[in-house]
Amino acid sequence: MKRLSQGAVTVFFGLMATGLAQAATAQLSNLPLSVETSDSLLTLTPAAIQKIYPVQSRPEAVFLTNDKKVTMGFEWRQAALKPGEVSGLVNQFPAVIKAQVAGLKTLTPKLLTIQGTPWAQFIYTLAGKNGDLRREMLVTSAQGRMLILNVDSSVKDYSTNDIAVRTFVNGIKLSQ
């Protein structure tokens, strides 16, 4: 997924992002899942997503923390993935990440269960211009396809927004 630069978020934010109402469950129309929304998150409109992200790596839904420092984007890929295959990704993906991510400093793979669904989690850090960057990739199976949630920020900004991000992630529920 293309990473949002702070400038890109600022340029498009004023006209193309909306605040999420008070805490409630929202079904995403273009994804087989619902999320727990709160007033601590913003969402990019489809027009903003289309303008910011190139076609080949465009996420279906993007959420931001209120300070616009942490971006959370869902990608629903065409690649087949069965629920029973998710745990195997924990051993398979680290080699792929190490080969594709320049300047990788740390990488922690883990298997999580969120709302009864298994997710492979990969948290890694890499050097950035103004401090270390933190990337988190969560992968699961949704309707037989690979569903990915990318969480992008600096290490410092993630620490500031940890509770909002973890609450959002823990509120993800796949549709049956």
- In the chain, domain spans: 6-174
User: How does the average pLDDT of the chain come out, rounded?
Assistant: 87
Residues 6+ apart with CB under 8 A from 61: 28, 30, 31, 43, 44, 49, 73, 74
> Domain 6-174 has what CATH class?
alpha beta
Q: How confident is the model at residue 23 (pLDDT cuts 50, 70, 90)?
A: low
Instruction: Tell me how far apart the alpha carbons of residues 147 and 119 are, in angstroms, rounded to a whole number.
Output: 9
Segment 131-152 mean pLDDT? 97
- The answer to whether the beta carbons of residues 148 and 90 sit under 8 Å apart is no
pLDDT digits (tens, 9 = 90+) for 79-96: 999 999 999 999 999 999
